[in-house]
A and B are shown apart, each in its own frame.
Chain A
Amino acid sequence: MNDLFLDKLQAARLKERPLLMTHFVAGYPAMAESRVLAEALAAAGADILECQLPFSDPLADGPSIMQANQQALDNGSTPKSGFALLDGLSARTGCPLIIMSYVNIAYRMGWEKFALACKKAGAYGLLMPDLPLDEGGAEFQDLLAAQGVHLLPVVSPGMEDERLALVLRKARGFIYATLRSGVTGARSGLESSSLDFLRRIHQHSTLPVAAGFGISDKVQIDSLQGLADIVVIGSHLLDLYRTSGLTAVQRFVRSLQS
């Protein structure tokens, strides 16, 4: 799992282009369709697949992803069915897998059981934005590490230098940077403060950096050149999927990789 990610990263660095991480929700719009979507994303050239296990009250997500969470839950998506969906996906597609969810899903399942399930699913890392390191995150990070899975930190522009340094000192895998404070959701352009934030992160850590929140076009991605190894597209893909369907999503992903 480690090798898959590192190989991809090295190849991308040689080509001087970022890795494309695309987000989908397990069970949205339904379980079978979300599998088709994930495989289609990979086929269209996505480098990393980020799968969100749905939660009823996703604190860091905007309207598009919230609605997808709710619909997935209404369709009966559970952590168990989500993990089953992921079984073999990474190997089949050749894409490293990142799992994203909220802390109560792992808490209810049990920390160790959840960590084991992440490993079985072939995950490279886990994003759990509402589990800070000093609220049990550090202990969970160790449990995950024992299974070969990284707990990936999610950091944001408003963080004080001291806090950023603390969080990044313990970071493993890669760093997920939100380009702004606020919730996920597509918007145009990139603020200079977002780029400054990425520069700040590089002063604290040599780990690869993934940039997310608000990315929806090639111009934005190009302006991240040299500052982010990974770009994350979430809400925009969901919006596109909803309005224009799977083919449009694939066309869009291809256009980013050209």
Chain B
Amino acid sequence: MNRATQAFYYGPYGGRFVPEMFGPALRELDAAWRKYRKDPVFRKDLNNLLHNYAGRPTPLLKADRFAELIGCNNVFLKLEGLAHTGAHKINNALGQALLAKMMGKTRIVAETGAGQHGVASAAAAARLGLHCTVFMGEVDMRRQYPNVYNMRRMGAEVIAVQEGSRTLKDAVSAALKYWAGNLQDTHYLLGSALGPHPYPRIVRELQSVIGREVRRQLGVYGFSAPQLLLACVGGGSNALGLFSPFLPDPDVRCVGVEAGGSGPEQGRNAIRFGGNGRTGIAQGFKSVFLQDQYGNLAATHSVSAGLDYAGVSPELAWLKERGRVQFCSADDRSALAAYDTLSRSEGIIPALESSHAVAAALAMAGTLHPDTVMVINISGRGDKDIFITAPHFEEKAWKDYLLSEAAREGRNE
């Protein structure tokens, strides 16, 4: 790092570790972002889209029945799942798609893991009249068919990534490569607060609407600030979106929840901050990555497709190192249990990603002061996970249903 690139960094993390061929596009994006982020027209158009299209502000619900289960009186759920397309991802997608349009681009390319960012990008592109190409790992496409279908219906082209582990990291690489060959007319709409500078900054800022709303909404309930914030961490965009407005306030405890997967061994989870993660440089940035002893990114696992990424936001890596954000993990089993608990106690079906944050809250039961003001980010809703949750909770009914539908389709042919 030198003086010229200091602004790219969060402590030792971040940077712009890309081949020179990406440089012009990243510099163009950086300049455009600095030009438009405070531009009155851009702000007005974005706020209009967030309000009338995405449905913001999303509610902050005081979840009393759920609160009883953890022995706290003041548990709030930030219902990002009620934003259009079902997750917080739309905040960033609309902002970047609008920026792309102001830059004169006609196409966007995006990567997606769980498909939520892909759906949000497809929607934003359709709304703003941009052509959209989404790269998605073949494994994730199988796990998240409803999202694949919805992206296609909104006019996006979904391309199956067959390289490597065929999950999110491979989709990031594929999208970056496609971009490199189409820089003139294409904006790369990166979905999380990571990648080469300026993406971590752009995504964090566009997502921070979550935390700003929370502060205002808590005020209506009579609280000036929360004491505890909980959010799941895949790349880190919903967590940073919630945390960032509160980071200057040391009394607000921020906890990120990683995917504990099926066990503590490398390859069975996506816990970057739990001992297996090491500092590394990949996919255009320096951060903490799950990797082998030689530096190759490691395979990850989580029941939720949106959390199984080998790297993590460089800003979160720095906040962790400074002790400002703490991390814990929830495994597949406890995430599924939390999904069930929240569905039954509040009538809210959370995404499996968000279920990890719910699981962490449940794990804190009895350890917190009853008056603790806690906000859990329900970053998405769980409809998209039916192919994972249904076989788990209703194996026979689900199988019978699929078989009967398959038979019906067969008869109709």
Q: Which residues of A are at the interface with B, using a C-beta cutoff of 8 A?
A: 54-60, 62-63, 66-67, 70, 73, 78-79, 102-105, 107-109, 129-132, 134-136, 138, 153-160, 163, 167, 178, 180-183
Contacts and interface: CB of A to CB of B under 8 A. Distances in A.
A177 to B, nearest CB: 10
Contact of A105 (B16, B19, B163, B294): B294
Contact of B18 (A59, A62, A180): A59
B169 interface: yes
A51 to B, nearest CB: 16
B346 to A, nearest CB: 40
Contacts of A157: 21
A167 B21 CA distance: 12
Given A156-B21, A158-B21, 6 more contacts: A55-B296, A104-B280, A108-B293, A135-B15, A181-B21, A183-B177
Contact of B283 (A59, A158, A167): A59
A156 B19 contact: yes
A60 B174 CA distance: 10
A109 B182 CA distance: 34
A104 B291 CA distance: 10
Interface in B1-48: 1-2, 4-5, 15-21, 23-25, 27
Interface string B168-190: 01100100110011110000000
B295 A108 contact: yes
Interface string B245-286: 000000000000000000000000000000000101111100
Given A67-B163, A104-B282, A57 B20 contact: no
A207 to B, nearest CB: 16
Given A108-B291, A130-B284, A178 B2 contact: no
A59 B22 CA distance: 10
B294 A183 contact: no
Summarize B's interface: helix, strand, loop or mixed: mixed
B295 A155 contact: no
Nearest to B163: A66
Q: Which 6 A-B pairs have the closest CB atoms?
A: A182-B181, A156-B21, A108-B295, A56-B296, A104-B295, A129-B19
B181 A132 contact: no
A130 B24 contact: no
Nearest to A184: B177
Contacts of B283: 57, 59
B180 A57 contact: no
Interface of B: 1-2, 4-5, 15-21, 23-25, 27, 163-164, 169-170, 173, 176-177, 180-183, 278, 280-284, 289, 291, 293-297
B17 A108 contact: no
A55 to B, nearest CB: 6
Contacts of B173: 57-59
Nearest to B280: A104
Given A66-B163, A109-B294, A181-B181, A167 B20 contact: yes
B280 A156 contact: no
Contact of A57 (B4, B25, B164, B181): B164
B21 A132 contact: no
A159 B23 contact: yes
24 contacts: A56-B296, A57-B297, A62-B177, A63-B163, A73-B296, A102-B282, A104-B289, A105-B295, A129-B20, A130-B18, A134-B2, A136-B1, A138-B2, A156-B21, A159-B23, A160-B24, A160-B27, A163-B23, A180-B181, A181-B181, A181-B183, A182-B21, A182-B180, A183-B180
B22 to A, nearest CB: 8
A102 B173 CA distance: 14
Contact of A132 (B20, B170, B291): B20
Contacts of B170: 57
Nearest to B3: A134
A9 B164 CA distance: 38
A58 B170 CA distance: 10
Contacts of A131: 17
Contacts of A107: 280-281, 295
A62 B178 CA distance: 10
A70 B182 CA distance: 26
Please indicate which of the listed interface residues A59, A63, A102, A103 has the most CB atoms of chain B within 10 Å of its own CB.
A59
B17 A135 contact: yes
